Amino acid sequence: MDPSQLLYAKTHEWAFVEEQDGGKVATVGISAFAIEALTDLVYLELPKVGAQTTAGQPFGEIESVKAVSDVYAPVTGEVIAVNEELPNKLESLNDDPYVGGWIARIKITDDSGLANLLDQPAYEKQCQEEG
């Protein structure tokens, strides 16, 4: 996926939103900036298929040698798929965070939160400010 086509949460999750079966589905992952900041990943907890997500609320967890961090849902909806291979291939998050490193696909049930997500230029500016 082209990072310029993604939307970003201020908490460093990305979302690729597309129309599917008359609704919107977001493929969700963690940005390269966040993966680099976490370094040495050791564990990822995926959400469960069928789980409800609320934009801005935790829906998973990622652990590095430095810290345990929540993974926040960038959209409100229902988890319809998860990348089951990812917890056993955490290197995918470093090598290819925007394709092989996707975490979940969420069927959006309330798209009002999409307006709170950043486009790539705004997200890059935020990352520069965080250093």
Q: State the number of CA atoms in the 13 A half-sphere of 30 facing the CB.
A: 31
The answer to whether position 118 is within a domain reads no
Residue 108: what residue type? Answer: I
* pLDDT tens sequence across 19-32: 998 999 999 999 99
Note whether residue 119 is domain-resident.
Answer: no
Confidence of residue 131 (pLDDT cuts 50, 70, 90): confident
Examine residue 129 and state whether it is found in any structural domain, yes or no. Answer: no
In angstroms, the CA 58 to CA 71 distance is: 5
How many domains, in total, are found in the chain?
A: 1
The parent domain of residue 9 ranges over 3-111
Q: What is the pTM of this model?
A: 0.95
Per-residue pLDDT at 66 exceeds 90: no
CATH of the domain at 96: 2.40.50.100
- Kindly state whether residue 75 falls inside one of the protein's structural domains: yes
The mean pLDDT value of the chain amounts to: 95
